Structure 1
Amino acid sequence: NIWWITGIAIGAALLAFIFTPYITVVPYRWMREAAASDLLAAVIGLIVGLIISFLIAIPLANLPGIWGHILPFVGTVVCGGLGVALAVQRKNDLSHLFQAGFASRRTREREREEERQKELDKDKEHSSHLQPVTQILLDTSAIIDGRIADISQTGFVSGALLVPRFVLNELQHIADSADTMRRNRGRRGLEMLNRLQKDTTVPIEITDADVEDVAEVDGKLVKMARTLHCPIITNDFNLNRVAELQGVKVLNINELANAVKPVMLPGEDIFIKIMQDGKELGQGVGYLDDGTMIVVEGGRQFMGATIEVTVTRVLQTVAGRMIFAHPKQGYNGNISSFLPPSKPR
């Protein structure tokens, strides 16, 4: 027994002498010379290996005899070593895996941030629609038309009227024209501008701001409106279309006038004075107080008379509203039967 124990002790000493450097010195040198990425991979692999060995050691510890004590230890050493070795060898794959996970997380966070920003932009856009207009650009045609002065007195115009210097110069140029009609229109525009300045209901401002890279007045107005984010008041059909194509809001006085005209429905009876011939044979033409044209089928024979007609249809055109009608049924050939009832004396 003594010799047996002595042999085992000598063998254990030899094994310890041989393998101790691999357990102490070699790992120390490797840790000192290894890169930080290798050390991090080794730690991760060791942790994963120890977790796996712990799960394996539970059933191995229930084995009978000496195996229940040896195999759990062996499993721990093997799993830990394999975990370190595999993690160090596959560190690039692990790095890519972690980078992909972090990248996907950053992508999700960026997408959420973009969604929040879009919602904020929508809220800002919605709130901008709710806020009153602070400035409105005036076009030359709207100033010459003159109705803007009456509209501003009613309180429907919210915000200050802005007249650029180049619009005022164009108005002055029209007022100095050799053509009598253009000269009168220009002078009327200057009078309306003076009236707007004296009116305290809506403030009016003449600005010296100019658009250097655009020559035409319409182009200057559109670009200034886009810069200031404000609408344009105009009667010019072409300017209206160009501004709408470039996303500029336009307030057209003619469209406003058409919108507030009395609504005529087919079947209504009205009294109208036949003023002139129509384009078609037998037609007569009359006008309402607001200037709406009424074409009366068979109305030529009542030229100069005020008769009662029945509306047949209403046509909305770019130029305005046109009403078609015919003499009221029951006409017996006597024009007086279509005249409006006389007022009692």
Structure 2
Amino acid sequence: MIRNLVRGIVTLVGAVLGYATATGILLIPYLDDLSFTKGLPFTIGLFAVTILLFALIFFLLSSSIYKLLIKTNKIIEKNLSGMSVTEILFGAVGAIIFLVITFFLTMPIANAWPGFGGLVTVLLNIAAAMLGANIALKKKEEILNFFSGLRVKGHTPKEKTEKQVMVGTPKVLDTSVIIDGRIYDICKTGFVEGKLIIPFYVLEELRHIADSSDSLKRNRGRRGLDILNKIQNELDIEVEIWEKDYKDIQEVDSKLLKLATEIKGQVVTNDYNLNKV
């Protein structure tokens, strides 16, 4: 069904191009000097031949065009599946901003050369959209930090003091509870007392998961990093990155237990085995 629809659309596009080509041929000034070009039969014949010829050419090319569209769709789908919603939104906003700028910059070109200029304008707009999306994705963290900085500047000294003074048992977060994401909602209610401790080896584990070749793991890792970013920037709760390592201990779970014992804190986890320990 879709294949036939694409074929029909491509053939129709070919017919329209044939009509435009015939119109352009009739506008050639030297054509009036030829005797056989005068009269309605030549005009009708020219339109019929060019429309049929272009429609036939595009019909023959429609199968290749359909395969190219399917292949392109799979590539786009594969790339989007490895991206978070935040990245997709950033890419879309970047593309729109660059499209608007390019539209106004390329208007003189389109007006100067209605035919060729229009094609150049379309190509420049496509390139600008791709460039804008790429820049927005690469600079995502810097943009978020910039707006977070503006928000923090708007806080009063009282709010900053309230965020720094935390009374209660420190909570050591492991990788599973960060990826789960519900820790953000719990902290938002003010239910959690004490500051949150994020060991650097947990961060490393999150980064490793976020860089995984497996799309499911990669999305989970990126979700965990986004949750941490939201906790640090949006909530009035103290978050400390713990730099100390226990080189004599290999397993991350054992390191977390050792850390919690030293600081007299509690491990927050979704891991069944670690929870039993």
**TM-score of Structure 1 vs Structure 2, range by shorter chain:** 0.3 to 0.5
Q: TM-score, normalised by structure 2?
A: 0.39
Q: Structure 1 or 2: larger strand share?
A: 1
Higher RCO (Cα < 8 Å, 6 or more apart)? 2
Larger Rg: 1
Q: TM-score, normalised by structure 1?
A: 0.32
Q: Structure 1 or 2: larger helix share?
A: 2
